[in-house]
Structure 1
């Protein structure tokens, strides 16, 4: 796929992201940021930024990319820079022609390689080595990704994540107790979470609990599990929450940080599993409390402490909003990504 000439940057998204539908939801106030992950905010740092969908992976397209993939990546200075959010889209960007440079985020492969070895990810390794720069969202990912890519690979940068503080706006702290947990990525820990929620309900049967998850585990009595929430539904649920609690397994990509920052932007305290890189987001603040991996009793205990002291919970919520506004918005994220791109 070739691009026309001209300076600037093209932010590429997978075809199934449906950028038109996203834009419509955003215009209606039902989705954060104008583009996913707030990368439209690159416009504040780079002139001529546009978004574009990557082509669907048809058999013909895959064959063409295999041919292109054995050629050196073309780089014409007069052409735009190509940018993608994660390594799956980055694998397609690696063989997108008509660009001056290519940059991609990396989310999942560091954990996959750590757990299963790098041999089965050889094609992804080749694709990422064609980039001009890569970024990760956890400082714990830098060393394993650098080792996986090998000598002569593009530089790996640590870029802290951010959320849309205008969409996830602060609301008054609620009077009715509600605990919320959200998220279903591969490193969430529903067993530990539901154990903690069962303990909590035994102590405080008056507390409402809502968990968004696709887990097949039967929830404890008094715990409502929903498989999916839209952005607008999620925002409204945060607004009703007293505490947001997240349990994750050991991982390097800071699973849970998106929900944690969204909840904090709404002005809600957070209880979350401590994993590598998590302190950079939630350490050193009264807004968040961290517990060890697999410790459902501690998760329940810290959540109960906030529920039992609504004044402290409200104060933690105020600190949470200030924490996000001070360095973890999509405006901050875009500035950090722009720094990676313009560092050439």
Structure 2
């Protein structure tokens, strides 16, 4: 019933091996093997880049419900994580029902960049889902009122892998910042670090920085390129809080890595962008600051680092908020429910059809 498909560049065998060695939280990328709890017959597979012929066919198809891939449509529900994989699904291996997440296109259009033929591709699908409320209106405007169904639901984190950890002992606070999203604002983050270290020179920062942003790294900052999820989890366990600065965007940039820190039991200090309020309760599970405001970011960091009891209280509340509604299972239930509804099914019907165990 459910076919979960990723670009072939995603090495599914390597992912599975890392999971078996305890290095990553999911056997499938993004933990989507949890969909087997809804449909034990769910499969995972890879999608190659469309051939030239498939791309040409895609350009001359009717606006809606096109005869894709030369007319061959397999049964079941094809499910992809983002619109780039969704494009491959539509052109290479179309299913009777096709559902994809949308991550980037709303910001591409908002910023005036060329979306290519993505509008036609998305209109050929049956359901689109986003994990930021800020994307909903922009996506509907992009695909049109007569386009596919759109759903918003919050993302989730594997709260067993990113388990709650005791607050670190000692008085030298560590702040972690991670993420590779193109909207990450390292210049503002580093400006805030300078302000914090002027008042607390013993504060330490560990920041994911590939160097592509060209921002000068301040004193007291240790940078890293990439870490496996288990290494990032261990880093969160040694931190007092997590911080990220992002530019203005619609897709709640950085919410997934922030959820990982929250699951470990750490407060988060983030930029307030559309949709991020659905993940962070300002003043209860962390703090939100205006876009590009290094002074506000520094002030909230100092407030957290100078008051251990506050950092502990915010972190505990962050973990509770994950357990209550932001776990991977919460997310998978929402995703599966939407995909099934797009296909005209319900979970009960899936059970009655014999695809679920007793």
**How far apart in 1 are the matches of 2:117 and 2:82?**
15
Is the 8 Å Cα contact of residues 282 and 288 (structure 2) preserved in structure 1?
A: no
The aligned counterpart of 2:185 is 189
Please point out which of 253, 277, 280 is paired with 1:279. 277
SS in 1 for 2:117: helix
Deviations 1:108-153 (A, max 9, x none): 0001101106xx3241111111111000111111111111112421
**How far apart in 2 are the matches of 1:149 and 1:40?**
29
SS in 1 for 2:160: coil
Matches within 5 A, 1:1-344: 8-56=1-49, 61-67=51-57, 70-71=60-61, 72-73=66-67, 79-97=75-93, 99-116=95-112, 120-176=114-170, 177-214=173-210, 215-283=213-281, 286-343=284-341, 344=344
**How far apart in 1 are the matches of 2:185 and 2:157?**
23
Is the 8 Å Cα contact of residues 285 and 319 (structure 1) preserved in structure 2?
A: no
Residues 1:73 and 1:103: Cα distance change in structure 2 (over 3 Å) = farther
Measured after TM superposition, the shift of residue 47 of structure 1 is 4.3
Deviations 1:63-97 (A, max 9, x none): 23432564524699982210000001111111234
**How far apart in 1 are the matches of 2:57 and 2:72?**
20
Instruction: Give TM-score scaled by structure 1 length.
Output: 0.92
SS in 2 for 1:336: helix
Is the 8 Å Cα contact of residues 138 and 158 (structure 1) preserved in structure 2?
A: yes
SS in 1 for 2:22: coil
Please list every run of 5 or more consecutive structure 2 residues that lacks an aligned counterpart in the other structure.
Answer: 345-358
Measured after TM superposition, the shift of residue 224 of structure 1 is 1.4
Q: Which moved more, 1:220-229 or 1:267-276?
A: 220-229
Q: Report how many residues are paired.
A: 332
Please list every run of 5 or more consecutive structure 1 residues that lacks an aligned counterpart in the other structure.
Answer: 1-7
Measured after TM superposition, the shift of residue 287 of structure 1 is 1.4
**How far apart in 2 are the matches of 1:95 and 1:285?**
46
Measured after TM superposition, the shift of residue 191 of structure 1 is 0.6
**How far apart in 2 are the matches of 1:21 and 1:70?**
38
Is the 8 Å Cα contact of residues 49 and 88 (structure 2) preserved in structure 1?
A: no
SS in 1 for 2:260: helix
